[in-house]
Amino acid sequence: MSLTTILMTVFSTTFVYAAPLIFTALGGTFSERSGVVNVGLEGMMIIGAFGSTVFNLTFASTFGSLTPWISLFIGALFGLIFSVLHAVATVTFRADHIISGTVLNLMAPALAVFLTRVIYEGKGQTPVINQSMGDFTFPILSKIPFIGKVLFTNTSLVAFIAIIVGILCWYFFFRTSIGLRMRSVGENPAAADTLGINVVKYKYMGVLISGFFGGIGGAVMAQSITLNFSASTISGQGFMSLAAMIFGKWNPLGATGAALFFGLAQSLPIIGAYIPVLSHVNSVWFQIAPYAITIIVLVIFLGKAVAPAADGQNYIKGK
């Protein structure tokens, strides 16, 4: 294989595997920036993957090649509705955030597989979707010599959208007043409250947006990688996104970058076989790399001080 082809393969597989992680990790930043710890991202992804797959299978004949894109939106809605559980539990009823997140992770596979069996005559997995997200070649950009071939040919369009969304999220948090308010709720809810910021509203917003993005993440996973839904469609990607969010220091740009890096690590076992240097490395190292690196980074660079100051604490007015 020529260098160009190898690089093209590396980039396109990295993008394919990174896209679900980027969306979900961005979701994580919304929830945690508003002060609600979200270990339930995995559950939100599962529900999103389920919703999008069912929609895709049902409406593929109506919407044709547009179906996977509409499915993303449906997956997002499913994720958003599901995250209401987390918001109600943590914000309104003062539940422990980790317990509530764990409930999401217990509930999502049970509920999604239950409904799958209801809809598909007792089978635990859906049929394979016909309209999936295929490769995309950018019209003009792909004509650029070398770079065009490496970055913009036969690649994942949704990953590019994810990166743009990541930049928009950064703009939201650090350049808009709503974003500033949301961050202030996560840092010091009592102070935010005295300034007239509706703490409960912003926390709900944070959690629901995280459900929305988590749902997209799961939907992207189902629409571009697994191509159906079963109990094993989402296996650890939610936790990996959580790691990406922490690795990226609760910053949308950092989370996007970390998710891209984890995408690379996930794609290495697949493309490693084609690359001379890597073909002798056992794939187990690539599999554990994202998790091990997260621990090492946490230990060496972060400690615990970087999370939003009031992350995980319930705000009780007047206390």
Q: Provide the binding-site residues for other proteins, judged by CB under 8 A.
A: 37, 39, 85, 88-89, 93-96, 98-100, 102-103, 105-107, 109-111, 113-114, 117-118, 122, 231-232, 235-236, 239-240, 242-243, 246, 282, 284, 287-288, 291-292, 294-295, 298-299, 302-304
- For residue 208, the minimal CB distance to other proteins (Å) is 18
What torsion do the CA atoms of 9, 12, 15, 17 make, to the nearest 10 degrees? Answer: -60
Question: C-beta of 247: minimal distance to other proteins in Å?
Answer: 10
Nearer Cβ to other proteins (23/262): 262
Minimum CB distance to other proteins, residue 34 (Å): 18
Nearest one of 40, 63, 12 to 224, comparing CA atoms: 12
**Which of 133, 138, 115, 145 has the alpha carbon at shortest distance from 54?**
115
Considering the complex, state which of residue 77 and residue 113 has its C-beta at the smaller distance from other proteins: 113
Torsion angles phi and psi, residue 257, rounded to 5: -60, -45
Of 58 and 235, CB closest to other proteins: 235
Q: Quickly list DSSP for 146-183.
A: THHHHHHSSB-HHHHHHHHHHHHHHHHHHHSHHHHHHH
Half-sphere exposure of 24 (CA within 13 A, CB side): 40
State the nearest-atom distance from the C-beta of 283 to other proteins, in Å.
8
| CB nearer other proteins, residue 6 or residue 98 | 98
Find the shortest distance in angstroms from Cβ 103 to other proteins: 5
Q: How far is the CB of 306 from other proteins (least distance, A)?
A: 11
What type of residue sits at position 109? P
Q: Is the dihedral of CA 180, 181, 186, 189 positive or negative?
A: positive
Measured from the CB atom, the residue of 195 and 284 that comes closer to other proteins is 284
By beta-carbon proximity to other proteins, the closer residue of 76 and 113 is: 113
Provide the total of helices (H) and of strands (E) in the chain, helices listed first. Answer: 12, 0
